[in-house]
Amino acid sequence: MNPILLSAEALSVQRGDRLLIEGLGFTLSAGEGMHLTGTNGAGKTSLLRVLAGLGHALEGLVNVRAGARLIYLGHALGLKPELTVTENLRFLLQVTDLKEKTTVDEALSEVGLARYFDIPVANLSAGQKKRVGLARLLLEPADLWLLDEPFSALDARSCQWLCDRIDLFLAEGGAVLLTSHQQVPVRHPLRRLELGAR
Ligand SMILES: Nc1ncnc2c1ncn2[C@@H]1O[C@H](COP(=O)(O)OP(=O)(O)OP(=O)(O)O)[C@@H](O)[C@H]1O
C-alpha cells in the first residue's frame, strides 16, 4: 500500500465569522490525485492554505508525512513583480534551500519562457506569470503538490503540458491536490472532494 502523504482529521475552517468547513476528513496517498471542487466562496483556497500550513484551522488536525516536501502554488504565485523571471526563480530556490531538479534555464524553456528570462515579472501577461509559478514544479523536489486553480489564465497548450506533468508526477509516486472550476483532463483518475456551500 502506498504511504499516506497528507491527511486531515475532523478539520474545521473558519474565515471571518463564517464557518466554511466542518469536520472534514480525508487522506491522500503517494500516487494519488484529488480534485477539490465547490462553488465560489466554498472554502477551497482557505482549505489549501490550512493544509499548506499558511492558515489556521478552527479545529482538527492536518498531518503531512514526516520528511514529505510540499509545493503550494496559490493565486498570488509568490512572485516579486520587480524582479526578473530568472531572479524570481533563483530567489525561490534560495528560500527553499533545496537542490534543484533541473536548471532555471531548462525550466524556463519547458514552460515556454526562454525568451523572457530577463524581463521583470510585472511586465508579463497573466498566463506568463502563471507559467513562471509553474516552473517551480520543475525545479523544486517535492512529494506533494497543492495547486490552487493551476489552469487559470493558461492557454490550451499550456493546460495540456500541465496535465502531462501532473500525470508524470503521479506516476512517479507524487500526490496532487488541486482546485479547478473546469474538468481536469489528466489520464490518471482523480478522486473528487467536494466542499458544500454553507
Ligand atoms: N482574508 C479574509 N478574511 C475574511 N474572509 C475571507 C478572507 N478571504 C476569504 N474570505 C472568505 O472566505 C470564504 C472562502 O473563500 P475562499 O477563497 O477559500 O473560497 P474558494 O472556494 O477558494 O472560492 P473561489 O472558487 O471563488 O476561488 C469566502 O466567503 C470569502 O469571502
CA-CA distance, 83 to 104, in Å (whole number)? 15
Residues 95 and 1 in one domain: no
- Give me the residues paired with residue 73 across strands: 147
Minimal-distance CA residue to ligand 1 atom 17: 45
Whether this model's ipTM surpasses 0.85 comes out as yes
Minimal-distance CA residue to ligand 1 atom 8: 15
Number of H helices, E strands in the chain: 5, 8
Residue tagged 500526490 (cell numbers): 175
Residues 2 and 64 in one domain: yes
Distance of CA 42 from the midpoint of ligand 1 (Å): 7
Residues 98 and 157 in one domain: no
Residues 63 and 160 in one domain: yes
Residues 90 and 181 in one domain: no
Phi, psi for residue 25 in degrees, rounded to 5: -135, 140
Tell me: the pLDDT tens digits for 99-145? 778 899 999 999 999 999 999 999 999 999 999 999 999 999 999 99
User: Among the atoms of ligand 1, which is closest to the Cα of residue 16?
Assistant: 4
Distance of CA 21 from the midpoint of ligand 1 (Å): 12
CA-CA distance, 122 to 82, in Å (whole number)? 6
Tell me: the pLDDT tens digits for 36-94? 999 999 999 999 999 999 999 999 999 999 999 999 999 888 899 999 999 999 988 88
Residues 8 and 57 in one domain: yes
Domain hosting residue 23, numbered range:
1-69+142-197
Residues 91 and 187 in one domain: no
CATH of the domain at 28: 3.40.50.300
Whether the pTM exceeds 0.80: the reply is yes
CA-CA distance, 78 to 114, in Å (whole number)? 20
Ligand 1 cavity residues, CB under 6 Å:
15-16, 18, 20, 38, 40-46
CA-CA distance, 175 to 155, in Å (whole number)? 24
Residues 60 and 120 in one domain: no
77 is a domain residue: no
User: Among the atoms of ligand 1, which is closest to the Cα of residue 195?
Assistant: 21
